[in-house]
Amino acid sequence: MRSRNLYVTRSDRALTLFLDGFLWFWTLVVAYPLVYVLSASLSSPQAVIGGKVWLLPVEPTLRAYQAVFRNKMILAGFANSTLYMVLGTAISLALTVFAAFPLSRRELAGRKALNALFLFTMIFSGGMIPTYLVVKDLGLRNTVWAVVLPSAFSVWNMIITRTYFQTNIPDELYEAAQLDGCSDFRFLRRVVLPLSGPILAVIGLYYAVGLWNGYFNALLYIDSQRLYPLQLVLRDILVLSNMDMSMMQDFSEMLRKQGLASLLKYAVIVVASLPVMLAYPFVQRFFVKGVMVGAMKG
């Protein structure tokens, strides 16, 4: 609410004006690529190649989206990615909470050592080939589990969650519950989790976005097209547009591929980022509260 009586100095006004301008400028810079991608996905591929699209769609058409939804590989990838995201997020959240809760309680024996052990894995890891061998020998290769298990647990997210528990669930509450004969599991379920909505939402989003955008596990461990996540399918389609020209032999083939790539490119980007973009506004309100509160006090 603006008060008329309040005296605003010239320099204040100048600063506000400058900040407003700067923020608007920055918003435009951030928003432009998004708008461009959306417009390009709705324009004819020829117009995009010819450089005629710069803000609004030119020769609007839905052909690209038709091609995307006709492409069985993309649809299968979409379904797989959704499965990996839902399943993986559930597993990751469970693991994170089960590690973070005990570590947030002071009376846990060997807590320091356990913490150190977790931290150790943030700095050192076995490396790609040993990990590959473990996954292979456990018989996980070429299964859904190879995508969701190897990177199910993030120490970083666990530390954030632990700090949140430490600062927001007072020990007194735990003692009171114990006096009333409440078990640890019951305390976790009835007291801790209901009080930790924000952090669960935030961590869950971290995991979900990571799984949705991830392709590396699938790249290493998946051999069958039926298990390919969306990102891997997209990668293969999008790189077609910057082919190695010295390998090129056949022009009708090249035109066909460039046509496919330029037709699908932008529509596919929109389709692939839509789920995450839709989820964001619902989780966003927890964001500042969730992560920052934990971080500041810890």
In the complex, the residues that contact other proteins under the rule CB under 8 A are 46, 49-51, 67, 70-73, 128-129, 132-133, 136, 219-220, 222-226, 228, 232-233, 235-237, 239-240, 244-246, 248-257, 259-260, 263
R_g over Cα of the chain: 25
Q: Which two tokens stand for residue 79?
A: 């379904």
> Which of 68/208 has CB closer to other proteins?
68
Q: How far is the CB of 248 from other proteins (least distance, A)?
A: 7
Q: How far is the CB of 231 from other proteins (least distance, A)?
A: 10
> Which of 10/72 has CB closer to other proteins?
72
> Which of 112/256 has CB closer to other proteins?
256
Q: How far is the CB of 234 from other proteins (least distance, A)?
A: 10
Q: How far is the CB of 236 from other proteins (least distance, A)?
A: 4
Q: How far is the CB of 261 from other proteins (least distance, A)?
A: 9
> Which of 141/289 has CB closer to other proteins?
141
> Which of 58/85 has CB closer to other proteins?
58
Q: How far is the CB of 214 from other proteins (least distance, A)?
A: 13
Q: How far is the CB of 170 from other proteins (least distance, A)?
A: 48
> Which of 93/232 has CB closer to other proteins?
232
SS3 of the chain: CCCCCCCCCHHHHHHHHHHHHHHHHHHHHHHHHHHHHHHHHHCCHHHHHCCCCCCCCCCCCCHHHHHHHHCHHHHHHHHHHHHHHHHHHHHHHHHHHHHHHHHHCCCCCCHHHHHHHHHHHHHCCCCHHHHHHHHHHCCCCCCHHHHHCCCCCCHHHHHHHHHHHHHHCCHHHHHHHHHCCCCHHHHHHHHHHHHCHHHHHHHHHHHHHHHHHCCHHHHHHCCCHHHCCHHHHHHHHHHHHHCCHHHCCCHHHHHHHHHHHHHHHHHHHHHHHHHHHHHHHHHHHHHHHHHHHHHHHC
> Which of 115/213 has CB closer to other proteins?
213
- The number of CA neighbours under 13 Å toward the Cβ of 26 is 6
